[in-house]
């Protein structure tokens, strides 16, 4: 209690000493929270991937089967570690088995990312730089859309920033015990997305740099060993699965690396580098997909980084940001498949921080401050508007995806007995979202290995469903058909 009281008093003193900064920071967080949580349930995408993850968490919380594997990757037969499922389980325990709560948990982590980004930018480059970086991060349409969906890659920025926070604390204090936090964050981030494993290279480069440059380092081996233990502890469920399943994911990864994987992406390596920088890291999150603006911001970001590495008195932030950006982009560009923006989520805080650093450097030139300050304010507001106008709840009505699935489950629950019917979705074989809501409603369908007298088909595709041409319906007779929440449900019985 004494430490809590002391922390509260220090926080109050800091607020009194920095009223303008506190007001600006509070405004940024209020806006960020509004964008991440406003009408979240109505705009939440809930499809096959989300249903698959929710089923795993259901099995964990209800049947008490701790997951040993995470979501499958888009590469071969590999799976990630299950850390994301354990994260989902926390909000889905508080709001029992509600996938909207899982998405809200991702939003909370996004706010945590915003706080860490503000803290680090402020410490390295000053308050104006932090205000600009945090403002852009708060309203970026890509960052906001990722924060409003429960997908495994979306918490990656939080754990990347948490590791960077630990590394910076090590630099500031000389205490290598901060590597314990870094090890935990590193173990978490590589379970968010396969390519996020590249961040381990960043941690390695930063640790070696600190080992050589920190004055009066303390607890070096305690920190290194503790960090490795924390890293392994975070991966324990996955490592146990590998040990008990003949290292099937490790062997799949080795086969992929040796074979190089299928080359489905077009263009040269340099072309992919440019696309990652100008499109996925800057064009989509910062420039509203305006090509000339994306190119301009890319030049500014790389220019700030180059200047810092060459001329800054304290090069530590630029070494860290530079290794984070370059190792990430160079590594992702090696992937010979089409790249999505979510592939680089573990890198996406870097451009925001470097843009903030650039504004901080400009504002330090007092002779130009009268001209530069209005330009920075207008530019920040303009970039924010380019992102805000693309927010779905600004331009489109709610999709009510999860509510539609619940309505379908209620309709089927009134007419079927758990385990006494089969279920298929007309759009595809990937019907995990409906399986989750039916299982949650205690109406879990039966698999086709155990024949049942009834089959329910959900037709939620734009075109009308033709039950006479679907080969899966051979031997089934249509009993009734009804429209529910914009989809058609068909009930069949065996011939």
Q: What values do phi and psi take at 342, rounded to 5?
A: -70, -15
Model pLDDT for residues 394-404, shown as the tens digit of each residue = 678 888 889 98
Model pLDDT for residues 65-114, shown as the tens digit of each residue = 999 998 887 665 788 899 999 999 999 999 999 999 999 999 999 999 99
- Regarding whether 427 and 380 lie in a shared domain, the answer is no
Q: CA-CA distance, 380 to 139, in Å (whole number)? A: 10
96: exposed, middle or buried (Cβ count in 10 Å: 0-12, 13-18, 19+): exposed
Asked whether residue 360 is domain-assigned, the answer is: yes
- Regarding whether 296 and 441 lie in a shared domain, the answer is no
Model pLDDT for residues 295-345, shown as the tens digit of each residue = 999 999 999 999 999 988 889 999 999 999 999 999 888 877 778 888 899
Number of domains present in the structure of the chain: 2
| Rounded alpha-carbon distances, angstroms, from residue 389 to 39, 392, 429 | 17, 8, 35
Q: Which two tokens stand for residue 244?
A: 């008990």
**Per-residue pLDDT, 155:** 96
Q: CA-CA distance, 193 to 341, in Å (whole number)? A: 12
Strand locations in 41-125, DSSP E? none
Between residues 363 and 22, the one the model is more confident about: 22
Asked whether residue 49 is domain-assigned, the answer is: no
Q: What values do phi and psi take at 457, rounded to 5?
A: -120, 130
Q: What values do phi and psi take at 486, rounded to 5?
A: 85, 0
Between residues 272 and 385, the one the model is more confident about: 272
Model pLDDT for residues 165-191, shown as the tens digit of each residue = 999 999 999 999 999 999 999 999 999
- Regarding whether 386 and 463 lie in a shared domain, the answer is no
- Regarding whether 375 and 257 lie in a shared domain, the answer is yes
- Regarding whether 230 and 329 lie in a shared domain, the answer is yes
**Per-residue pLDDT, 37:** 94
Model pLDDT for residues 53-69, shown as the tens digit of each residue = 999 999 999 999 999 99
Q: CA-CA distance, 358 to 129, in Å (whole number)? A: 7
- Regarding whether 357 and 323 lie in a shared domain, the answer is yes
Nearest-CA neighbor of 489 among 382, 398, 413? 413
Beta strands 454-459 and 487-494, pairing class: antiparallel
Last residue of a domain, one of 364, 395, 426: 395
Judge contact between 237 and 68, C-beta under 8 A: yes
Judge contact between 223 and 211, C-beta under 8 A: no
Asked whether residue 282 is domain-assigned, the answer is: yes
**Per-residue pLDDT, 461:** 67
Q: What angle do CA 84, 85, 89 make, to 5 degrees?
A: 120
pTM higher than 0.85 for the full model? yes
Q: Which two tokens stand for residue 363?
A: 């504002």
Residue range of the domain that includes 274? 2-37+68-395
Model pLDDT for residues 246-259, shown as the tens digit of each residue = 888 887 777 665 55
- Regarding whether 173 and 265 lie in a shared domain, the answer is yes
- Regarding whether 287 and 199 lie in a shared domain, the answer is yes
Q: CA-CA distance, 93 to 61, in Å (whole number)? A: 8
Q: What angle do CA 410, 411, 417 make, to 5 degrees?
A: 85
Q: Which two tokens stand for residue 117?
A: 């980004």
Q: CA-CA distance, 54 to 46, in Å (whole number)? A: 10
**Per-residue pLDDT, 390:** 67
| Rounded alpha-carbon distances, angstroms, from residue 465 to 397, 425, 444, 470, 475 | 25, 10, 24, 9, 17
- Regarding whether 430 and 390 lie in a shared domain, the answer is no
- Regarding whether 74 and 198 lie in a shared domain, the answer is yes
**Per-residue pLDDT, 245:** 84
Model pLDDT for residues 177-231, shown as the tens digit of each residue = 999 999 999 999 999 988 888 999 999 999 999 998 888 889 999 999 999 999 9
**Per-residue pLDDT, 393:** 67
Q: Residues of the chain with pLDDT > 70: what percent?
A: 89
Residue 430 has pLDDT above 70, yes or no: no
Between residues 183 and 486, the one the model is more confident about: 183
Nearest-CA neighbor of 477 among 460, 444, 455, 462? 455
Q: Which two tokens stand for residue 172?
A: 């500031």
Asked whether residue 63 is domain-assigned, the answer is: no
Last residue of a domain, one of 342, 365, 395: 395
Last residue of a domain, one of 395, 413, 444: 395
Model pLDDT for residues 433-481, shown as the tens digit of each residue = 889 999 998 888 888 888 888 888 888 766 667 766 778 788 888 888 8
**Per-residue pLDDT, 423:** 87
Model pLDDT for residues 264-299, shown as the tens digit of each residue = 555 678 888 888 888 889 988 888 788 888 899 999
Q: HSE of 278 in the Cβ direction (CA atoms, 13 Å)?
A: 14
If pLDDT is split at 50, 70 and 90, which confidence band does 424 have? confident
Q: CA-CA distance, 393 to 400, in Å (whole number)? A: 12
Beta strands 487-494 and 476-484, pairing class: antiparallel
Between residues 39 and 419, the one the model is more confident about: 39
Is the alpha carbon torsion for 324, 325, 326, 332 positive or negative? Answer: positive
Asked whether residue 108 is domain-assigned, the answer is: yes
- Regarding whether 441 and 378 lie in a shared domain, the answer is no
């Amino acid at each position: 209690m004494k430490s809590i009281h002391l922390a509260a008093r220090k926080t109050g003193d800091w607020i009194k000493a920095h009223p303008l900064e506190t007001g600006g920071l509070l405004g940024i967080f209020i806006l960020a929270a509004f964008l991440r949580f406003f009408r979240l349930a109505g705009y939440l995408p809930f499809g096959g991937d989300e249903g698959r993850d929710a089923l795993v968490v259901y099995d964990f919380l209800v049947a008490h089967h701790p997951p040993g594997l995470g979501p499958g990757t888009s590469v071969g037969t590999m799976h990630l570690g299950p850390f994301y499922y354990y994260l989902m389980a926390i909000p889905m325990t508080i709001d029992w088995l509600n996938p909207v709560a899982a998405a809200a948990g991702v939003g909370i982590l996004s706010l945590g990312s915003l706080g860490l980004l503000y803290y680090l930018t402020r410490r390295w480059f000053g308050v104006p730089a932090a205000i600009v970086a945090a403002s852009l991060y708060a309203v970026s349409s890509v960052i906001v859309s990722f924060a409003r969906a429960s997908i495994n890659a979306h918490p990656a920025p939080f754990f990347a920033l948490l590791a960077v926070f630990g590394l910076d604390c090590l630099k500031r204090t000389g205490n290598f015990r901060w590597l314990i936090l870094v090890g935990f964050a590193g173990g978490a981030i590589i379970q968010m997305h396969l390519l996020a494993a590249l961040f381990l290279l960043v941690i390695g480069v930063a640790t070696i740099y600190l080992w050589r440059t920190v004055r009066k380092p303390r607890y070096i081996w305690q920190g290194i060993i503790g960090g490795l233990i924390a890293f392994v502890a975070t991966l324990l469920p996955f490592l146990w699965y590998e040990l008990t399943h003949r290292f099937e994911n490790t062997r799949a990864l080795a086969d992929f690396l040796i074979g190089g994987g299928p080359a489905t992406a077009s263009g040269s390596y340099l072309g992919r580098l440019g696309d990652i920088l100008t499109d996925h890291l800057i064009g989509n999150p910062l420039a509203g997909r305006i090509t000339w603006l994306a190119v301009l911001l890319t030049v500014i970001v790389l220019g700030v980084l180059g200047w810092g590495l060459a001329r800054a008195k304290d090069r530590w932030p630029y070494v860290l940001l530079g290794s984070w950006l370059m190792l990430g982009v160079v590594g992702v560009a090696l992937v010979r498949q089409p790249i999505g923006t979510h592939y680089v989520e573990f890198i996406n805080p870097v451009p925001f921080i470097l843009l903030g650093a650039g504004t901080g450097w400009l504002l330090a030139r007092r002779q130009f401050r009268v001209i530069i300050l209005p330009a920075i304010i207008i530019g920040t507001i303009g970039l924010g508007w380019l992102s805000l106008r693309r927010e779905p709840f600004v331009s489109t009505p709610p999709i009510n995806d999860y509510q539609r699935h619940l309505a379908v489950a209620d309709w089927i629950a009134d007419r079927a007995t758990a385990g006494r019917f089969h279920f298929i979705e007309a759009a595809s074989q990937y019907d995990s979202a409906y399986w989750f809501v039916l299982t949650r409603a205690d109406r879990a369908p039966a698999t086709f290995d155990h024949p049942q007298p009834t089959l329910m088909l959900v037709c939620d595709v734009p075109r009308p469903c033709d039950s006479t041409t679907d080969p899966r319906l051979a031997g089934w007779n249509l009993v009734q058909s009804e429209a529910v929440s914009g989809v058609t449900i068909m009930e069949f019985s065996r011939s």
